[in-house]
Amino acid sequence: MSVGRKQAGVALILVLWLLVLMVVLVGGFARSARIEALEAHQLRSAVVARQAARAGIEYAVLRMQYQDVDRRWVPDGRVYRFAYAGAQMQIRIVDESGKVDLNGASPELLHRLLLALEVKEPQAQAIAAAIADFRDPDDLLTPGGAEAADYRAAGLPYGPKNKPFETVSELQRVLGVDQSTYARLRPYVTVYASGDPSPTFAQAPVLQALGMSSAAAAGFLGQRQARQPNAPGAPPTLPDGQPFVVQPGTGTYDISSQVTLADGTSMTVDAIVRATQPGPFGQLYVPLQWREGESH
C-alpha cells in the first residue's frame, strides 16, 4: 500500500472519530438543554402555583367582607371551588371562634373534645387535665393532670409552662400529647379566640364537645352547609335550642388555599389571618400564621 493511501486512511479514521466526538458533544448539550428546560418549567409552575395559592387567601378574605349575604363566603369549613387563570382553586375557611380556646376552655370541654376525636379513656381525661396544668400559673395539681414533678418523672427536661399558650404547637410539650393526639387536636383548637366555641362555625368534633350527639352534629352540619337553618324536620340547630342564623365571621380565620395547575403542579397555602379594613395599600389582613408548600 502506498504512503498516500495510508495517509488517506488515517485521515478518514480521524474524521470519523471527530464526527463521533461531535455527535457525543451535541447529544450532551441537547440533553443538558432539555434538563434545564424541564427545570425551568417546573420552577415556573411552582412560582405560578404559589402565587395563585396566595391570591386565594386574599380572595377568601375579600369574599368574607361582602355586604351581600348571598355572595359572602361563610367561614364554617365548607369548601369553595372555582377556576382562576387556568388553575383549579379549592379554598376552605374556618372562623377561629368555632374552635376550642386552649387558654380558656375548661378541662371538661377539653375532655369531651378529646373523646369526640376518639382519644380513649383514661388518656383523654389525663391530657385535658395536663393542658389545664400546663397553662395555669400555679403548681396545684389538677386531678389526673401533670405538674413539674410528673414531667421530671417522665424524663423530660422541662415542665409545664405555667403561662397561657402562645401557639397551638405548644401542645406538643404537654405531657401525654403524642404526635397522633396532636394531629387530631390541631385543627380544632386555637389561641386566637376566647370564650366557648361558636356553633355557627364549629366543626363536628367541637359540636360534640358542646353537647351534640354525633347524629345531631352531622344533621346540623348538613343543614348549615345548605344554609337552610329552619328546614322542616331538621334536628335542633344549637345546643341551647336557639335557631341557627347565618352570620358574618368574627374576623380571624383559618384559611387553606390549594391550587392545581393544568400540568398537575399543586401548591397549598395554610394561613391564620386577622381581617382588617383595607388601608392605603389595599392590605386586607394581618397574617398570624403562615405555612406553604407543595401538596404533592
Domain ranges of the chain: 1-99+249-296, 101-177
For the ranges 31-45, 51-65, 206-220, which has the lowest average pLDDT? Answer: 31-45
**Measured between alpha carbons, how far is 246 from 145 in angstroms, rounded to an integer?**
39
pLDDT of residue 229: 43
CB half-sphere exposure, 148, CA atoms < 13 A: 6
Evaluate if residue 236 carries a pLDDT over 60. no
Contacts of 104 (CB under 8 A, 6+ apart): 194, 195
Q: Which amino acid is at 283?
A: Q
pLDDT of residue 95: 95
Host H or E run for residue 161: none
Tell me how many degrees the CA angle 84-86-89 measures, rounded to the nearest 5: 45
With a threshold of 0.95, does the pTM exceed it? no
CATH code of the domain occupying 101-177: 1.10.40.60
pLDDT of residue 113: 98
pLDDT of residue 270: 95
Query: What is the average pLDDT across 123-133?
Result: 96
> Rg for the chain (alpha carbons), in Å?
29
Evaluate if residue 76 carries a pLDDT over 70. yes
Backbone angles phi, psi at 38, to 5 degrees: -65, -40
Query: What is the average pLDDT across 44-60?
Result: 91
pLDDT averaged over the chain?
Answer: 85
Evaluate if residue 1 carries a pLDDT over 90. no
The DSSP letter of residue 280 is T
**Measured between alpha carbons, how far is 273 from 106 in angstroms, rounded to an integer?**
26
DSSP 208-260: HHTT--HHHHHHHHHHHHTT-TT-TTPPPSSTTSPPP------SEEEEEEEEE
Evaluate if residue 33 carries a pLDDT over 70. no
pLDDT of residue 213: 92
pLDDT of residue 190: 97
Strand, coil or helix: what is 270?
A: strand
- pLDDT tens track for 162-191: 999 999 999 999 999 999 999 999 999 999
Evaluate if residue 219 carries a pLDDT over 70. yes
Query: What is the average pLDDT across 61-68?
Result: 88
Is residue 72 a contact partner of residue 34, using CB atoms and an 8 Å limit? Answer: no
pLDDT of residue 243: 59
Evaluate if residue 231 carries a pLDDT over 60. no
